[in-house]
Chain A
Amino acid sequence: MKNFKSDMIKRLPVIISVIVIAAMVFTGCRKDANEETVPNQNGTQNEAGDITGNNGENEKQDGAAESSGGNEEAKTGDNVSENGEPAEKIDINIAALKGPTGIGMVKLMQDAANGDALHNYNFTIAGEADEISTGLIKGEIDIAAVPCNLASVLYNKTQGKIKLAAVNTLGVLYIVETGNSIESVEDLKGKTIYSTGYGTTPQYTLNYLLNSHGIDPEKDVNIEYKTEATEVAALLSESDDAVAMLPQPYVTTVMMNNDKVRIAINIDEEWKALNDGNGVVTGVLVINKDFLDNHPQAVEDFLSEYQASTNYVNENVDEAAELVETFGLFKAAVAKKAIPYCNITFVSGSDMKEMAETYLNILYEQNPNSVGGALPADDFYYIP
């Protein structure tokens, strides 16, 4: 016992230091995870971090300053534009997913590339939603086209730092098959359906439809979610009575490569029939709240230009298809056929709010986590 005591005494300083440090860390300047932090108030305090944007951790508070050019002036300069004349072009970082939700932007992308746009738009096409989420949280991305449920998740998880600006894509989902057995939703009972989009729009859309027609998605059908549309396409080509759900333009791609594939059900139509003519809200535009607060005029500029781009795309399908290929979204030949079916649109304001709320509600009923745990409050919706 003697040895034990003297050993402990020798180690006492170390033990005490560890306990003290631990106590300090736990109690000192405590920021509880559940407390609302109003970023801009602390913004100046944390300004000690790099303005050139190497310190990712502080960026969410300096969001506005973090354009790819590291442009300091942007923070102070552009609020002059209340007169309707933009004082100068500011850098805006915009992201879209590869797929139908990015198509509406292509004209704007071209204008930006030519320097014809109102501001300096930097577009990023992401393969996965994760990149966009991270970028929005960090403040590296200012505006993004994302699935509607992801917008709600981001709003909830960032405590309101993401706002919904517009709906940009409506229903794009179709049930396709290589056989001839599906005429209506009820015919899906007992089938195996291949699909993409686990945990997002396609899954919830399909489940809702199935449930509404008395089919239990867990028990009465076998839905297999694959990661890529190509996997689904491969499965379709292997069998003469395969059934799948795909979004446009992938439906067009598949049908162009496999003439046995036919469209069996237009999911958007079925949805509308159940929802007073309201369609599926597939894609939306979201804005980083800090960016919006700092550059309200720029946001308005962007939205109006974006709307114009959308109109252009819908009215000039051929030219738009070329642009779609130029900017790496899709092959032009596919886009040409698919764009009319992609339901590319621009809905803002209170119409947007109504559509989104209806849609998010349906998702919330299926799985609250899919919208981030709770339905967004009114401040989620950007209605200028």
Chain B
Amino acid sequence: MENMEKGIEGKKNVNRIRRYITRLLVFIFWISVWEAACKIIDQELFLPSPESVLLAIIDLAKTSGFWRSIFNSFIRIIIGFSMGVITGAILAVFSYKSRLIYELISPFMKIIKSTPVASFIILALVWISSKNLSVLISFLMAMPISFSNLLYGLKSTDEKLLEMAKVFRMGRWKRIKAIYFPAVLPFLVSAVSVGLGFSFKSGIAAEVIGRPSNSIGLNLYEAKLYLMIKELFAWTAVIIIISVLFEKIVVRTIRHYGSNTGNTDKP
């Protein structure tokens, strides 16, 4: 039995190494494509080389404005995103319970989902100050995704388990912990990872148009304005890195919390 377990563990590690190497090779491949494209285009102002972008990132990282902007933008977007997820979740619960509420809210969500981000940004600028634009936009991106995912998750809860809960007269809190939450969890994870990406993208876009001081969007805009193309790419790379990193952290946290309440599927 032990040998077999060691064997399984060993295989897992081998797979993990294999995965890392594959990822590394893929990364090298695409960087090489970028580098080759640079040589072909041969105009730093249209496509800067990977090295110059990397150097630009390093240079930027030495300035305090860099970190302040990242912090500001990040905070604003995360606040908007969180509020969006929570609001979407609450509305999903209400819609799950009440058909009337569902009929009222669902078209509203559909509209938000299909309205182009740019329209929101332009409209919002009329009503609220440019500083908080990205909070609102991140909120608007996250909310409908959270709503539909969570509603779907709620609807997918096992009827039979709910019946069992009814017969045994389980309290509301127990029902949520034992039945609703585990059913909703995978949908929550999906909502968060999809919504987070959207929120970041749109939040930064909102900042480029609204230009709040000390924000990533403002830096992007100025880079474009002053033809600082390396920096433009550098900032874009930074945004991507932050977005991916944060998503990984959040998803891992949710899964971890889920498993702490005994909600993992691992035997």
Direct contact of A and B (CB under 8 A): yes
Q: How far is the CA of A157 from the CA of B229 in the complex (A)?
A: 9
B32–A372 touching, CB < 8 Å: no
A22–B28 touching, CB < 8 Å: yes
B211–A22 touching, CB < 8 Å: no
Determine which of A1, A26, A157 lies in contact with B35 in the assembled complex, contact meaning CB atoms within 8 Å: A26
User: Distance in Å from the Cβ of A353 to the closest Cβ of chain B?
Assistant: 22
At the interface with chain B, which of A13-21, A71-79, A321-329, A333-341?
Answer: A13-21
Q: How far is the CA of A1 from the CA of B13 in the complex (A)?
A: 10
- Contacts A33-B52, A372-B226 known; A157 to B45 CB distance under 8 Å? yes
CB-CB contacts below 8 Å: B45-100 with A: 45-46, 48-49, 51-52
Give the residue name and chain of the A residue nearest to B35 (CB). Answer: A25
Interface residue count on the A side (C-beta < 8 Å): 34
What 1/0 mask marks residues of chain B from 212 to 224 whose CB sits below 8 Å from any chain A CB?
0100000001101
Q: How far is the CA of A157 from the CA of B228 in the complex (A)?
A: 8
At the interface with chain A, which of B36-44, B107-115, B146-154, B244-252?
Answer: B36-44
Q: How far is the CA of A348 from the CA of B49 in the complex (A)?
A: 38
Contacts of A157 in B (CB 8 A): 45, 227-229
Determine which of B25, B36, B43, B229 lies in contact with A25 in the assembled complex, contact meaning CB atoms within 8 Å: B36
Q: How far is the CA of A22 from the CA of B26 in the complex (A)?
A: 11
Q: How far is the CA of A200 from the CA of B29 in the complex (A)?
A: 40
B262 at the interface (CB under 8 A from A): no
A60–B43 touching, CB < 8 Å: yes
What 1/0 mask marks residues of chain A from 193 to 209 whose CB sits below 8 Å from any chain B CB?
00000111000000000
Contacts of B166 in A (CB 8 A): none
Determine which of A7, A57, A137, A198 lies in contact with B211 in the assembled complex, contact meaning CB atoms within 8 Å: A198
B222–A29 touching, CB < 8 Å: no
- Contacts A4-B18, A57-B43, A137-B45 known; A369 to B28 CB distance under 8 Å? no
A242 at the interface (CB under 8 A from B): no
User: Distance in Å from the Cβ of A223 to the closest Cβ of chain B?
Assistant: 11
Contacts of A225 in B (CB 8 A): 211
Determine which of B28, B221, B222, B227 lies in contact with A133 in the assembled complex, contact meaning CB atoms within 8 Å: B227
Residues of B within 8 A of A (CB): 10, 14, 17-18, 25, 28-29, 31-32, 35-36, 39-46, 48-49, 51-52, 130, 211, 213, 221-222, 224-230
- 24 A–B pairs (Cβ distance < 8 Å), ordered by A: A1-B10, A1-B14, A4-B14, A4-B17, A15-B25, A18-B29, A22-B32, A25-B36, A33-B44, A33-B48, A33-B52, A58-B42, A60-B43, A130-B224, A133-B227, A137-B43, A137-B46, A154-B227, A157-B229, A199-B221, A199-B226, A200-B225, A218-B213, A373-B228
Residues of A within 8 A of B (CB): 1, 3-4, 7, 15, 18-19, 21-22, 25-26, 29, 31, 33, 57-58, 60, 130, 133, 137, 153-154, 157-158, 198-200, 218, 224-225, 369-370, 372-373
